[in-house]
Structure 1
């Protein structure tokens, strides 16, 4: 059976509002905007916007990202990340393209990577790899009936 991929609709957005606190793993094929607090791993095939009131601790994997708030952790970009004035970042960044406005507080390392290197880092998200792992084939019905008859 062929696997069906869900294609996000135009302007589809997952939003974590100011005052909301989430811990864990968040995955989405749509764009994400975070204005609240998130502790864990964020993965999106789309764009991630980190609002001015946002406070994120953990790992971020995204196609692109605009940072207006506070991020502490490891960031992996497939395309580009834009740090906006007054944003704050502490950690490790791996991205093909980088933009930093005047007024950004940046404490960390930056490595320019290729898309292939980004894809290798996706293996750091075990939950994504579980979904992609092939499921074992079911035993043929005749073999099951023969075993049950014994």
Structure 2
């Protein structure tokens, strides 16, 4: 009578933390979120959110869905959705985003490309207005 639905395992996103007095050199790939309060040199690739805390520093390449930056970033940053720059953020390098939120005081010294939905303007026949 009713079709049976296969139960899908609930998706649990992991939270990964790189602490304040921690340095990491290398490449990281994960499906979870990251919070970085230490220093990272290399590549971070995730489908989750990347948060760089006030004391955090990342140099290299980051690919993620969302990012909140309070600390320092230099390199290539690819954010599929929203990039939020807090007051204490300092960004340099190349940035590709869909949406951008910048608080006053943030340093944004980067080449930025916005991707996503671009609305095309249609140039239909324009009507000329007549004045009396």
TM-score range, shorter chain: 0.7 to 0.9
Task: Please give the alpha-carbon distance, in whole angstroms, between the structure 1 residues aligned to 2:80 and 2:74.
Answer: 19
Q: How does 1:22-61 map to 2 (within 5 A)?
A: 22-61=24-63
Task: Please give the alpha-carbon distance, in whole angstroms, between the structure 1 residues aligned to 2:16 and 2:10.
Answer: 14
Query: Cα distance, 1:109 vs. partner?
Result: 1.0
Match for residue 141 of structure 1? none
Alignment size in residue pairs? 109
Query: Cα distance, 1:56 vs. partner?
Result: 0.6
The structure with more helix, counted as a fraction of residues: 1
Aligned 8 A contact 1:18 1:36 in 2: yes
Match for residue 133 of structure 1? none
**If you compute each CA radius of gyration, which structure gives the higher value, 1 or 2?**
2
Mark the CA change 1:28 to 1:7 in structure 2 (over 3 Å): closer, same or farther.
farther
Query: Cα distance, 1:7 vs. partner?
Result: 6.2
Structure 1 length-normalised TM: 0.69
Aligned 8 A contact 1:81 1:98 in 2: yes
Query: Cα distance, 1:114 vs. partner?
Result: 2.7
Partner of 1:9, secondary structure, is coil
Q: What are structure 2's unaligned runs of at least 5 residues?
A: 1-8, 118-132
Match for residue 9 of structure 1? 12
Partner of 2:65, secondary structure, is strand
The structure with more strand, counted as a fraction of residues: 2
After superposition, the CA RMSD in angstroms is 1.6
- List structure 1 segments (4+ residues) > 4 angstroms apart after TM superposition: none
Aligned 8 A contact 1:67 1:82 in 2: yes
Q: What are structure 1's unaligned runs of at least 5 residues?
A: 1-5, 116-150
Match for residue 94 of structure 1? 96
Q: How does 1:71-150 map to 2 (within 5 A)?
A: 71-114=73-116
Task: Please give the alpha-carbon distance, in whole angstroms, between the structure 1 residues aligned to 2:29 and 2:11.
Answer: 13
Task: Please give the alpha-carbon distance, in whole angstroms, between the structure 2 residues aligned to 1:7 and 1:50.
Answer: 27
Task: Please give the alpha-carbon distance, in whole angstroms, between the structure 1 residues aligned to 2:40 and 2:11.
Answer: 23
